[in-house]
Structure 1
Protein backbone atom coordinates (compact mmCIF):
# COMPACT_ATOMS: atom_id res chain seq x y z
CA UNK A 1 0.00 0.00 0.00
CA UNK A 2 2.89 2.30 0.76
CA UNK A 3 4.36 1.83 -2.68
CA UNK A 4 1.00 2.42 -4.32
CA UNK A 5 0.68 5.81 -2.62
CA UNK A 6 3.87 6.97 -4.36
CA UNK A 7 2.52 6.38 -7.85
CA UNK A 8 1.79 9.59 -9.80
CA UNK A 9 -0.30 9.87 -12.96
CA UNK A 10 0.61 12.14 -15.83
CA UNK A 11 -1.24 12.80 -19.10
CA UNK A 12 0.74 13.67 -22.23
CA UNK A 13 -1.08 15.41 -25.07
CA UNK A 14 -1.36 14.11 -28.60
CA UNK A 15 1.53 15.22 -30.91
CA UNK A 16 3.81 15.40 -27.87
CA UNK A 17 6.42 13.16 -26.31
CA UNK A 18 7.47 12.99 -22.68
CA UNK A 19 11.00 12.57 -21.31
CA UNK A 20 11.15 10.42 -18.16
CA UNK A 21 14.15 10.51 -15.83
CA UNK A 22 15.13 8.28 -12.94
CA UNK A 23 17.41 9.71 -10.23
CA UNK A 24 18.38 12.51 -12.62
CA UNK A 25 19.27 10.28 -15.58
CA UNK A 26 17.26 9.70 -18.74
CA UNK A 27 15.25 6.52 -18.50
CA UNK A 28 12.66 6.44 -21.31
CA UNK A 29 10.26 8.35 -23.56
CA UNK A 30 6.61 8.59 -22.55
CA UNK A 31 4.04 8.23 -25.32
CA UNK A 32 0.92 10.45 -25.56
CA UNK A 33 -1.85 9.43 -23.18
CA UNK A 34 -1.97 8.37 -19.52
CA UNK A 35 1.39 7.56 -17.92
CA UNK A 36 2.33 6.38 -14.40
CA UNK A 37 5.45 7.49 -12.53
CA UNK A 38 6.94 6.30 -9.23
CA UNK A 39 8.58 9.19 -7.42
CA UNK A 40 9.62 6.88 -4.61
CA UNK A 41 11.86 5.06 -7.07
CA UNK A 42 13.26 8.36 -8.30
CA UNK A 43 11.13 8.36 -11.46
CA UNK A 44 9.51 11.56 -12.74
CA UNK A 45 8.52 13.43 -15.93
CA UNK A 46 11.43 15.73 -16.78
CA UNK A 47 9.75 17.48 -19.67
CA UNK A 48 7.44 17.32 -22.69
CA UNK A 49 8.41 18.11 -26.30
CA UNK A 50 5.97 18.89 -29.12
CA UNK A 51 6.33 16.77 -32.25
CA UNK A 52 4.35 19.25 -34.34
CA UNK A 53 5.97 21.07 -37.25
CA UNK A 54 7.44 24.40 -36.23
CA UNK A 55 8.14 27.29 -38.59
CA UNK A 56 11.07 29.67 -38.37
CA UNK A 57 11.59 32.75 -40.54
CA UNK A 58 15.20 33.74 -41.09
CA UNK A 59 16.38 37.02 -42.63
CA UNK A 60 19.91 36.97 -44.03
CA UNK A 61 21.80 39.89 -45.54
CA UNK A 62 24.64 38.98 -47.86
CA UNK A 63 26.37 39.99 -51.09
CA UNK A 64 26.27 38.38 -54.52
CA UNK A 65 29.16 37.74 -56.88
CA UNK A 66 28.45 40.99 -58.76
CA UNK A 67 28.66 42.96 -55.48
CA UNK A 68 24.94 43.51 -54.94
CA UNK A 69 23.75 43.48 -51.34
CA UNK A 70 20.57 41.47 -50.92
CA UNK A 71 18.31 40.45 -48.07
CA UNK A 72 17.07 36.87 -48.30
CA UNK A 73 13.99 35.85 -46.35
CA UNK A 74 13.64 32.10 -45.89
CA UNK A 75 11.12 29.97 -44.07
CA UNK A 76 12.29 26.75 -42.37
CA UNK A 77 9.88 24.06 -41.17
CA UNK A 78 11.28 21.59 -38.65
CA UNK A 79 10.08 19.13 -36.04
CA UNK A 80 11.34 16.88 -33.26
CA UNK A 81 12.00 13.31 -34.37
CA UNK A 82 9.85 11.23 -32.06
CA UNK A 83 12.38 8.40 -31.67
CA UNK A 84 15.20 10.83 -30.89
CA UNK A 85 13.30 13.19 -28.62
CA UNK A 86 15.84 12.63 -25.82
CA UNK A 87 18.61 14.07 -28.05
CA UNK A 88 16.45 17.09 -28.83
CA UNK A 89 15.69 17.55 -25.12
CA UNK A 90 19.24 17.30 -23.82
CA UNK A 91 21.52 18.39 -26.68
CA UNK A 92 20.08 21.76 -27.72
CA UNK A 93 18.96 24.44 -25.33
CA UNK A 94 17.68 26.76 -28.08
CA UNK A 95 17.11 24.92 -31.41
CA UNK A 96 15.78 28.04 -33.20
CA UNK A 97 19.03 29.94 -32.67
CA UNK A 98 21.03 26.91 -33.78
CA UNK A 99 19.02 26.50 -36.98
CA UNK A 100 19.29 30.21 -37.73
CA UNK A 101 23.08 30.12 -37.29
CA UNK A 102 23.48 27.22 -39.73
CA UNK A 103 21.21 28.87 -42.29
CA UNK A 104 23.36 32.02 -42.07
CA UNK A 105 26.53 30.03 -42.65
CA UNK A 106 25.26 28.04 -45.62
CA UNK A 107 23.57 30.96 -47.40
CA UNK A 108 26.55 33.25 -46.94
CA UNK A 109 28.78 30.52 -48.35
CA UNK A 110 26.58 29.91 -51.42
CA UNK A 111 25.25 33.32 -52.51
CA UNK A 112 28.62 35.11 -53.02
CA UNK A 113 29.44 32.50 -55.70
CA UNK A 114 26.59 33.54 -58.00
CA UNK A 115 25.30 36.78 -59.52
CA UNK A 116 22.03 38.49 -58.66
CA UNK A 117 20.29 37.17 -61.78
CA UNK A 118 21.52 33.65 -61.05
CA UNK A 119 20.27 33.97 -57.47
CA UNK A 120 16.74 34.69 -58.70
CA UNK A 121 16.97 31.81 -61.16
CA UNK A 122 18.58 29.33 -58.77
CA UNK A 123 16.90 30.19 -55.47
CA UNK A 124 15.40 26.69 -55.28
CA UNK A 125 18.88 25.21 -55.68
CA UNK A 126 20.18 27.41 -52.87
CA UNK A 127 17.28 26.31 -50.66
CA UNK A 128 18.04 22.66 -51.48
CA UNK A 129 21.69 23.10 -50.47
CA UNK A 130 20.65 24.70 -47.17
CA UNK A 131 18.22 21.84 -46.55
CA UNK A 132 20.91 19.19 -47.11
CA UNK A 133 23.38 20.85 -44.75
CA UNK A 134 20.79 21.43 -42.04
CA UNK A 135 19.58 17.84 -42.20
CA UNK A 136 23.11 16.59 -41.54
CA UNK A 137 23.63 18.82 -38.53
CA UNK A 138 20.20 18.98 -36.94
CA UNK A 139 19.63 15.24 -37.39
CA UNK A 140 22.32 14.65 -34.77
CA UNK A 141 20.32 16.75 -32.33
CA UNK A 142 17.04 14.91 -32.84
CA UNK A 143 15.47 17.38 -35.26
CA UNK A 144 14.25 16.83 -38.81
CA UNK A 145 14.15 19.67 -41.37
CA UNK A 146 10.90 19.22 -43.25
CA UNK A 147 11.14 22.00 -45.80
CA UNK A 148 12.99 25.21 -46.65
CA UNK A 149 11.47 27.91 -48.79
CA UNK A 150 13.16 31.05 -50.12
CA UNK A 151 10.26 33.39 -49.55
CA UNK A 152 11.78 36.59 -50.94
CA UNK A 153 14.98 38.07 -52.33
CA UNK A 154 15.19 41.81 -51.76
CA UNK A 155 18.08 43.67 -53.44
CA UNK A 156 19.34 47.04 -52.27
CA UNK A 157 16.79 49.82 -53.06
CA UNK A 158 19.10 51.52 -55.58
CA UNK A 159 19.56 48.21 -57.40
CA UNK A 160 15.81 47.63 -57.46
CA UNK A 161 15.23 51.05 -59.02
CA UNK A 162 17.87 50.32 -61.67
CA UNK A 163 16.31 46.92 -62.43
CA UNK A 164 12.86 48.49 -62.81
CA UNK A 165 14.24 51.14 -65.16
CA UNK A 166 15.98 48.50 -67.28
CA UNK A 167 12.82 46.43 -67.39
CA UNK A 168 10.73 49.45 -68.39
CA UNK A 169 13.22 50.40 -71.12
CA UNK A 170 13.18 46.87 -72.52
CA UNK A 171 9.39 46.83 -72.59
CA UNK A 172 9.28 50.21 -74.38
CA UNK A 173 11.83 48.98 -76.90
CA UNK A 174 9.80 45.83 -77.54
CA UNK A 175 6.61 47.88 -77.91
CA UNK A 176 8.38 50.14 -80.46
CA UNK A 177 9.46 47.09 -82.46
CA UNK A 178 5.91 45.74 -82.51
CA UNK A 179 4.52 49.14 -83.52
CA UNK A 180 7.10 49.44 -86.31
CA UNK A 181 6.19 46.00 -87.64
CA UNK A 182 2.49 46.89 -87.55
CA UNK A 183 3.09 50.19 -89.41
CA UNK A 184 5.19 48.32 -91.97
CA UNK A 185 2.43 45.80 -92.58
CA UNK A 186 -0.13 48.61 -92.99
CA UNK A 187 2.06 50.40 -95.54
CA UNK A 188 2.65 47.21 -97.51
CA UNK A 189 -1.05 46.38 -97.54
CA UNK A 190 -1.92 49.93 -98.55
CA UNK A 191 0.60 49.84 -101.42
CA UNK A 192 -0.73 46.47 -102.55
CA UNK A 193 -4.30 47.81 -102.48
CA UNK A 194 -3.34 50.90 -104.49
CA UNK A 195 -1.50 48.79 -107.05
CA UNK A 196 -4.46 46.44 -107.38
CA UNK A 197 -6.86 49.39 -107.73
CA UNK A 198 -4.73 50.95 -110.46
CA UNK A 199 -4.48 47.63 -112.27
CA UNK A 200 -8.24 47.09 -112.12
CA UNK A 201 -8.82 50.70 -113.17
CA UNK A 202 -6.59 50.21 -116.19
CA UNK A 203 -8.41 47.02 -117.13
CA UNK A 204 -11.74 48.85 -116.84
CA UNK A 205 -10.59 51.73 -119.05
CA UNK A 206 -9.26 49.29 -121.65
CA UNK A 207 -12.56 47.40 -121.68
CA UNK A 208 -14.49 50.66 -121.91
CA UNK A 209 -12.45 51.79 -124.89
CA UNK A 210 -12.85 48.37 -126.49
CA UNK A 211 -16.62 48.58 -126.07
CA UNK A 212 -16.71 52.07 -127.61
CA UNK A 213 -14.55 50.93 -130.52
CA UNK A 214 -16.70 47.85 -131.14
CA UNK A 215 -19.86 49.96 -131.07
CA UNK A 216 -18.49 52.51 -133.52
CA UNK A 217 -17.22 49.76 -135.80
CA UNK A 218 -20.65 48.18 -135.88
CA UNK A 219 -22.30 51.52 -136.69
CA UNK A 220 -19.80 52.23 -139.45
CA UNK A 221 -20.29 48.83 -141.06
CA UNK A 222 -24.09 49.13 -140.95
CA UNK A 223 -24.02 52.65 -142.39
CA UNK A 224 -21.58 51.65 -145.18
CA UNK A 225 -23.82 48.78 -146.26
CA UNK A 226 -26.94 50.92 -146.28
CA UNK A 227 -25.39 53.93 -148.13
CA UNK A 228 -23.63 52.93 -151.31
CA UNK A 229 -20.39 54.68 -152.15
CA UNK A 230 -19.72 55.74 -148.54
CA UNK A 231 -16.33 54.72 -147.28
CA UNK A 232 -15.60 53.73 -143.72
CA UNK A 233 -13.50 56.86 -143.21
CA UNK A 234 -16.30 59.16 -144.36
CA UNK A 235 -18.79 57.44 -142.08
CA UNK A 236 -16.34 57.68 -139.17
CA UNK A 237 -15.91 61.42 -139.76
CA UNK A 238 -19.64 61.90 -139.90
CA UNK A 239 -20.20 60.02 -136.62
CA UNK A 240 -17.46 61.93 -134.88
CA UNK A 241 -18.82 65.31 -136.00
CA UNK A 242 -22.34 64.28 -134.97
CA UNK A 243 -21.09 63.28 -131.49
CA UNK A 244 -19.18 66.54 -131.31
CA UNK A 245 -22.32 68.59 -131.90
CA UNK A 246 -24.30 66.39 -129.51
CA UNK A 247 -21.72 67.11 -126.84
CA UNK A 248 -22.03 70.89 -127.42
CA UNK A 249 -25.80 70.54 -127.18
CA UNK A 250 -25.60 68.62 -123.90
CA UNK A 251 -23.30 71.25 -122.42
CA UNK A 252 -25.71 73.99 -123.44
CA UNK A 253 -28.69 72.19 -121.92
CA UNK A 254 -26.90 71.47 -118.65
CA UNK A 255 -28.52 73.09 -115.58
CA UNK A 256 -25.16 73.74 -113.96
CA UNK A 257 -23.73 77.26 -114.03
CA UNK A 258 -20.64 76.26 -116.00
CA UNK A 259 -19.12 78.11 -118.93
CA UNK A 260 -17.06 76.06 -121.38
CA UNK A 261 -15.03 77.73 -124.12
CA UNK A 262 -14.73 75.42 -127.17
CA UNK A 263 -12.97 76.50 -130.38
CA UNK A 264 -15.37 76.27 -133.29
CA UNK A 265 -14.90 76.37 -137.02
CA UNK A 266 -14.42 74.02 -140.01
CA UNK A 267 -10.69 73.66 -139.28
CA UNK A 268 -11.30 72.97 -135.62
CA UNK A 269 -13.98 70.41 -136.40
CA UNK A 270 -11.55 68.55 -138.68
CA UNK A 271 -8.86 68.65 -136.00
CA UNK A 272 -11.26 67.31 -133.39
CA UNK A 273 -12.30 64.53 -135.76
CA UNK A 274 -8.68 63.54 -136.31
CA UNK A 275 -7.98 63.58 -132.57
CA UNK A 276 -10.99 61.39 -131.78
CA UNK A 277 -10.08 58.92 -134.52
CA UNK A 278 -6.48 58.68 -133.32
CA UNK A 279 -7.66 58.20 -129.74
CA UNK A 280 -9.95 55.33 -130.73
CA UNK A 281 -7.14 53.68 -132.69
CA UNK A 282 -4.87 53.92 -129.65
CA UNK A 283 -7.64 52.52 -127.46
CA UNK A 284 -8.04 49.57 -129.80
CA UNK A 285 -4.29 48.93 -129.78
CA UNK A 286 -4.24 49.07 -125.97
CA UNK A 287 -7.16 46.65 -125.72
CA UNK A 288 -5.44 44.18 -128.07
CA UNK A 289 -2.28 44.33 -125.91
CA UNK A 290 -4.37 43.63 -122.79
CA UNK A 291 -5.91 40.53 -124.41
CA UNK A 292 -2.46 39.25 -125.34
CA UNK A 293 -1.30 39.62 -121.72
Structure 2
Protein backbone atom coordinates (compact mmCIF):
# COMPACT_ATOMS: atom_id res chain seq x y z
CA UNK A 1 0.00 0.00 0.00
CA UNK A 2 2.99 2.34 -0.35
CA UNK A 3 4.02 2.31 3.32
CA UNK A 4 7.29 3.89 4.31
CA UNK A 5 8.94 1.69 6.91
CA UNK A 6 11.91 2.54 9.08
CA UNK A 7 13.57 0.56 11.76
CA UNK A 8 11.64 2.16 14.59
CA UNK A 9 8.75 3.94 12.83
CA UNK A 10 6.51 3.88 9.77
CA UNK A 11 3.80 5.94 8.04
CA UNK A 12 0.33 4.56 7.52
CA UNK A 13 -1.63 6.19 4.70
CA UNK A 14 -5.01 7.81 5.17
CA UNK A 15 -7.99 5.42 4.82
CA UNK A 16 -5.72 2.52 5.74
CA UNK A 17 -4.93 0.57 8.87
CA UNK A 18 -1.71 -1.23 9.74
CA UNK A 19 -1.26 -4.61 11.39
CA UNK A 20 1.56 -4.76 13.94
CA UNK A 21 2.91 -8.14 15.16
CA UNK A 22 5.10 -8.95 18.08
CA UNK A 23 7.26 -12.03 17.78
CA UNK A 24 4.98 -13.28 14.98
CA UNK A 25 1.72 -12.78 16.84
CA UNK A 26 -0.85 -10.04 16.29
CA UNK A 27 -0.24 -7.18 18.70
CA UNK A 28 -2.25 -4.14 17.66
CA UNK A 29 -3.65 -2.04 14.81
CA UNK A 30 -1.75 1.03 13.66
CA UNK A 31 -3.84 4.09 12.79
CA UNK A 32 -3.06 6.38 9.83
CA UNK A 33 -0.08 8.65 10.37
CA UNK A 34 3.32 8.17 11.99
CA UNK A 35 3.60 5.07 14.16
CA UNK A 36 6.50 3.75 16.28
CA UNK A 37 7.38 0.19 17.18
CA UNK A 38 10.38 -1.48 18.70
CA UNK A 39 12.06 -4.07 16.50
CA UNK A 40 14.31 -4.98 19.41
CA UNK A 41 11.20 -6.10 21.28
CA UNK A 42 10.01 -8.17 18.32
CA UNK A 43 7.52 -5.60 16.96
CA UNK A 44 7.13 -5.05 13.24
CA UNK A 45 4.58 -3.80 10.72
CA UNK A 46 3.29 -6.90 8.97
CA UNK A 47 0.98 -5.25 6.47
CA UNK A 48 -1.77 -2.74 5.83
CA UNK A 49 -5.39 -2.91 4.76
CA UNK A 50 -7.40 -0.23 2.92
CA UNK A 51 -10.63 0.86 4.55
CA UNK A 52 -11.93 2.40 1.32
CA UNK A 53 -15.07 1.02 -0.32
CA UNK A 54 -14.23 -1.60 -2.91
CA UNK A 55 -16.47 -2.72 -5.77
CA UNK A 56 -16.71 -6.25 -7.08
CA UNK A 57 -18.67 -7.10 -10.23
CA UNK A 58 -19.98 -10.64 -10.39
CA UNK A 59 -21.63 -12.16 -13.47
CA UNK A 60 -23.89 -15.11 -12.70
CA UNK A 61 -25.59 -17.38 -15.23
CA UNK A 62 -28.65 -19.22 -13.99
CA UNK A 63 -32.11 -20.40 -15.06
CA UNK A 64 -35.53 -19.03 -14.17
CA UNK A 65 -38.63 -20.99 -13.22
CA UNK A 66 -39.90 -20.88 -16.82
CA UNK A 67 -36.60 -22.41 -18.08
CA UNK A 68 -35.06 -19.22 -19.45
CA UNK A 69 -31.29 -18.90 -19.08
CA UNK A 70 -30.26 -15.44 -17.92
CA UNK A 71 -27.07 -13.67 -16.95
CA UNK A 72 -27.16 -11.37 -13.94
CA UNK A 73 -24.56 -8.68 -13.40
CA UNK A 74 -24.29 -7.95 -9.69
CA UNK A 75 -22.16 -5.17 -8.21
CA UNK A 76 -21.08 -5.61 -4.57
CA UNK A 77 -19.64 -2.67 -2.63
CA UNK A 78 -17.78 -3.67 0.52
CA UNK A 79 -15.14 -2.36 2.89
CA UNK A 80 -12.95 -3.50 5.79
CA UNK A 81 -14.32 -2.73 9.25
CA UNK A 82 -11.57 -0.72 10.92
CA UNK A 83 -12.11 -2.21 14.38
CA UNK A 84 -12.00 -5.77 12.97
CA UNK A 85 -9.18 -5.26 10.49
CA UNK A 86 -7.16 -8.03 12.15
CA UNK A 87 -9.90 -10.55 11.30
CA UNK A 88 -9.96 -9.34 7.71
CA UNK A 89 -6.18 -9.60 7.54
CA UNK A 90 -5.78 -13.07 9.04
CA UNK A 91 -9.05 -14.91 8.35
CA UNK A 92 -9.46 -14.54 4.59
CA UNK A 93 -6.70 -14.92 2.06
CA UNK A 94 -8.88 -13.97 -0.93
CA UNK A 95 -12.06 -12.12 0.15
CA UNK A 96 -13.27 -11.47 -3.41
CA UNK A 97 -13.49 -15.21 -4.14
CA UNK A 98 -15.38 -15.75 -0.89
CA UNK A 99 -17.87 -12.98 -1.70
CA UNK A 100 -18.32 -14.26 -5.24
CA UNK A 101 -19.01 -17.79 -4.01
CA UNK A 102 -21.78 -16.63 -1.67
CA UNK A 103 -23.31 -14.43 -4.36
CA UNK A 104 -23.44 -17.41 -6.71
CA UNK A 105 -25.04 -19.55 -4.02
CA UNK A 106 -27.76 -17.06 -3.03
CA UNK A 107 -28.67 -16.00 -6.57
CA UNK A 108 -28.92 -19.55 -7.85
CA UNK A 109 -31.15 -20.41 -4.89
CA UNK A 110 -33.63 -17.56 -5.47
CA UNK A 111 -33.81 -16.98 -9.23
CA UNK A 112 -35.03 -20.51 -10.16
CA UNK A 113 -38.14 -19.78 -8.03
CA UNK A 114 -39.16 -16.84 -10.26
CA UNK A 115 -40.43 -16.45 -13.79
CA UNK A 116 -38.52 -14.14 -16.10
CA UNK A 117 -41.07 -11.33 -15.71
CA UNK A 118 -41.01 -11.73 -11.93
CA UNK A 119 -37.23 -11.55 -11.95
CA UNK A 120 -37.29 -8.19 -13.72
CA UNK A 121 -39.95 -6.92 -11.32
CA UNK A 122 -38.34 -8.31 -8.14
CA UNK A 123 -34.64 -7.90 -8.82
CA UNK A 124 -34.38 -5.74 -5.70
CA UNK A 125 -35.64 -8.67 -3.66
CA UNK A 126 -32.83 -10.83 -5.01
CA UNK A 127 -30.30 -8.10 -4.16
CA UNK A 128 -31.75 -7.85 -0.66
CA UNK A 129 -31.42 -11.60 -0.12
CA UNK A 130 -27.79 -11.50 -1.26
CA UNK A 131 -27.09 -8.53 1.02
CA UNK A 132 -28.55 -10.27 4.08
CA UNK A 133 -26.53 -13.44 3.47
CA UNK A 134 -23.25 -11.62 2.82
CA UNK A 135 -23.65 -9.34 5.84
CA UNK A 136 -24.17 -12.37 8.07
CA UNK A 137 -21.17 -14.28 6.69
CA UNK A 138 -18.64 -11.56 5.83
CA UNK A 139 -19.25 -9.65 9.06
CA UNK A 140 -17.51 -12.47 10.93
CA UNK A 141 -14.42 -11.92 8.78
CA UNK A 142 -14.19 -8.18 9.40
CA UNK A 143 -15.92 -7.00 6.19
CA UNK A 144 -19.00 -4.83 5.90
CA UNK A 145 -21.24 -5.04 2.81
CA UNK A 146 -22.30 -1.49 1.94
CA UNK A 147 -24.54 -1.98 -1.10
CA UNK A 148 -25.54 -4.64 -3.60
CA UNK A 149 -26.89 -3.59 -6.98
CA UNK A 150 -28.44 -5.79 -9.65
CA UNK A 151 -26.95 -3.84 -12.52
CA UNK A 152 -28.34 -5.86 -15.42
CA UNK A 153 -30.43 -8.91 -16.29
CA UNK A 154 -29.57 -10.34 -19.70
CA UNK A 155 -31.78 -13.14 -21.06
CA UNK A 156 -30.68 -15.34 -23.95
CA UNK A 157 -30.62 -13.55 -27.32
CA UNK A 158 -33.44 -15.68 -28.75
CA UNK A 159 -35.59 -14.92 -25.70
CA UNK A 160 -34.96 -11.19 -26.09
CA UNK A 161 -36.04 -11.36 -29.73
CA UNK A 162 -39.19 -13.28 -28.78
CA UNK A 163 -40.01 -10.75 -26.06
CA UNK A 164 -39.58 -7.88 -28.49
CA UNK A 165 -41.81 -9.60 -31.05
CA UNK A 166 -44.51 -10.21 -28.42
CA UNK A 167 -44.36 -6.59 -27.36
CA UNK A 168 -44.51 -5.41 -30.96
CA UNK A 169 -47.49 -7.68 -31.69
CA UNK A 170 -49.37 -6.37 -28.65
CA UNK A 171 -48.74 -2.79 -29.69
CA UNK A 172 -49.85 -3.52 -33.25
CA UNK A 173 -53.04 -5.11 -31.90
CA UNK A 174 -53.72 -2.06 -29.76
CA UNK A 175 -53.01 0.24 -32.70
CA UNK A 176 -55.47 -1.76 -34.85
CA UNK A 177 -58.17 -1.34 -32.19
CA UNK A 178 -57.61 2.40 -32.07
CA UNK A 179 -57.55 2.63 -35.87
CA UNK A 180 -60.82 0.67 -36.09
CA UNK A 181 -62.47 2.98 -33.55
CA UNK A 182 -61.24 6.00 -35.49
CA UNK A 183 -62.60 4.60 -38.78
CA UNK A 184 -65.92 3.85 -37.08
CA UNK A 185 -66.23 7.40 -35.80
CA UNK A 186 -65.26 8.75 -39.22
CA UNK A 187 -67.93 6.64 -40.97
CA UNK A 188 -70.59 7.66 -38.45
CA UNK A 189 -69.73 11.32 -38.81
CA UNK A 190 -69.69 11.00 -42.58
CA UNK A 191 -73.13 9.33 -42.57
CA UNK A 192 -74.47 12.03 -40.26
CA UNK A 193 -73.06 14.71 -42.56
CA UNK A 194 -74.61 13.08 -45.64
CA UNK A 195 -77.99 12.80 -43.89
CA UNK A 196 -77.84 16.44 -42.85
CA UNK A 197 -76.79 17.49 -46.36
CA UNK A 198 -79.67 15.55 -47.94
CA UNK A 199 -82.12 17.02 -45.46
CA UNK A 200 -80.93 20.55 -46.16
CA UNK A 201 -80.93 19.79 -49.89
CA UNK A 202 -84.55 18.64 -49.67
CA UNK A 203 -85.50 21.78 -47.76
CA UNK A 204 -83.75 23.86 -50.42
CA UNK A 205 -85.54 22.09 -53.28
CA UNK A 206 -88.89 22.49 -51.52
CA UNK A 207 -88.29 26.21 -51.02
CA UNK A 208 -87.12 26.55 -54.61
CA UNK A 209 -90.28 24.91 -55.94
CA UNK A 210 -92.43 27.03 -53.65
CA UNK A 211 -90.71 30.15 -54.91
CA UNK A 212 -91.19 29.06 -58.53
CA UNK A 213 -94.87 28.35 -57.90
CA UNK A 214 -95.39 31.72 -56.22
CA UNK A 215 -93.56 33.49 -59.05
CA UNK A 216 -95.60 31.79 -61.73
CA UNK A 217 -98.86 32.60 -59.98
CA UNK A 218 -97.85 36.22 -59.59
CA UNK A 219 -96.73 36.49 -63.22
CA UNK A 220 -99.99 34.95 -64.51
CA UNK A 221 -102.11 37.30 -62.42
CA UNK A 222 -100.11 40.40 -63.41
CA UNK A 223 -100.12 39.46 -67.10
CA UNK A 224 -103.87 38.73 -67.07
CA UNK A 225 -104.69 42.09 -65.50
CA UNK A 226 -102.40 44.18 -67.68
CA UNK A 227 -103.19 42.50 -71.02
CA UNK A 228 -106.91 42.38 -71.66
CA UNK A 229 -108.42 39.43 -73.45
CA UNK A 230 -105.82 36.90 -72.25
CA UNK A 231 -106.65 33.82 -70.26
CA UNK A 232 -104.59 32.03 -67.61
CA UNK A 233 -104.04 29.15 -70.04
CA UNK A 234 -102.50 31.42 -72.65
CA UNK A 235 -100.24 33.02 -70.08
CA UNK A 236 -99.09 29.58 -68.85
CA UNK A 237 -98.32 28.53 -72.43
CA UNK A 238 -96.26 31.68 -72.92
CA UNK A 239 -94.32 31.06 -69.70
CA UNK A 240 -93.68 27.45 -70.64
CA UNK A 241 -92.33 28.50 -74.06
CA UNK A 242 -90.06 31.08 -72.40
CA UNK A 243 -88.69 28.55 -69.93
CA UNK A 244 -88.24 26.03 -72.75
CA UNK A 245 -86.02 28.42 -74.70
CA UNK A 246 -84.14 29.42 -71.56
CA UNK A 247 -83.36 25.75 -70.99
CA UNK A 248 -82.09 25.34 -74.56
CA UNK A 249 -79.92 28.42 -74.07
CA UNK A 250 -78.44 27.13 -70.81
CA UNK A 251 -77.57 23.78 -72.41
CA UNK A 252 -75.77 25.56 -75.24
CA UNK A 253 -73.77 27.80 -72.90
CA UNK A 254 -72.63 25.01 -70.59
CA UNK A 255 -68.87 24.38 -70.56
CA UNK A 256 -69.41 20.63 -70.19
CA UNK A 257 -71.77 20.02 -73.05
CA UNK A 258 -73.32 16.66 -73.66
CA UNK A 259 -75.33 16.12 -76.81
CA UNK A 260 -79.00 15.85 -75.91
CA UNK A 261 -81.74 15.27 -78.51
CA UNK A 262 -84.91 17.12 -77.46
CA UNK A 263 -88.09 17.18 -79.58
CA UNK A 264 -88.24 20.76 -80.80
CA UNK A 265 -91.25 22.84 -81.73
CA UNK A 266 -94.11 24.77 -80.09
CA UNK A 267 -96.36 21.76 -80.36
CA UNK A 268 -94.12 19.80 -78.07
CA UNK A 269 -94.08 22.65 -75.57
CA UNK A 270 -97.89 22.69 -75.66
CA UNK A 271 -97.93 18.97 -74.99
CA UNK A 272 -95.65 19.45 -71.96
CA UNK A 273 -97.93 22.20 -70.70
CA UNK A 274 -101.01 20.01 -71.14
CA UNK A 275 -99.31 17.21 -69.23
CA UNK A 276 -98.45 19.51 -66.34
CA UNK A 277 -101.93 20.99 -66.31
CA UNK A 278 -103.59 17.57 -66.39
CA UNK A 279 -101.37 16.41 -63.57
CA UNK A 280 -102.35 19.39 -61.43
CA UNK A 281 -106.03 18.84 -62.18
CA UNK A 282 -105.83 15.13 -61.30
CA UNK A 283 -104.08 15.97 -58.06
CA UNK A 284 -106.77 18.51 -57.19
CA UNK A 285 -109.53 15.98 -58.00
CA UNK A 286 -107.93 13.33 -55.83
CA UNK A 287 -107.65 15.81 -52.99
CA UNK A 288 -111.36 16.75 -53.31
CA UNK A 289 -112.37 13.07 -53.37
CA UNK A 290 -110.65 12.53 -50.03
* TM-score higher than 0.5: yes
Aligned to 1:291: none
Query: Are positions 1:122 and 2:122 aligned together?
Result: yes
1:223-238 → structure 2 map (5 Å cutoff):
223-227=223-227, 232=232, 234-238=234-238
Deviation per CA, 1:53-110: give whole Å up to 9, x if none: 1111112122211122222111111111112211211221111011111111111111
Query: Are positions 1:271 and 2:253 aligned together?
Result: no
Aligned partner of residue 188 in structure 1, secondary structure: helix
1:25-174 → structure 2 map (5 Å cutoff):
25-174=25-174
Aligned to 1:179: 179
Query: Are positions 1:19 and 2:19 aligned together?
Result: yes
**Alpha-carbon contact 2:51-2:81 (below 8 Å) kept:** yes
Residue 230 of structure 1 deviates from its aligned partner by 5.3
1:243-262 → structure 2 map (5 Å cutoff):
243-248=243-248, 250=249, 254=253, 260-262=260-262
TM-score between the two structures when normalised by the length of structure 2: 0.82
CA distance in 2, matches of 1:128, 1:230: 112
Which deviates further from its counterpart, 187-196 or 129-138?
187-196
TM-score between the two structures when normalised by the length of structure 1: 0.81
What is the CA RMSD across the aligned residues, in angstroms? 3.0
Alignment size in residue pairs: 275
Which deviates further from its counterpart, 11-20 or 205-214?
205-214
CA distance in 1, matches of 2:187, 2:85: 77
Aligned to 2:204: 204
Aligned partner of residue 219 in structure 1, secondary structure: helix
Change (3 A) 1:279 1:56: farther
Deviation per CA, 1:211-231: give whole Å up to 9, x if none: 222222222232243346755
CA distance in 2, matches of 1:222, 1:278: 23
**Alpha-carbon contact 1:213-1:280 (below 8 Å) kept:** no
Please list every run of 5 or more consecutive structure 1 residues that lacks an aligned counterpart in the other structure: 1-5, 282-293
CA distance in 2, matches of 1:168, 1:280: 70
Aligned partner of residue 140 in structure 1, secondary structure: helix
Aligned partner of residue 261 in structure 1, secondary structure: coil
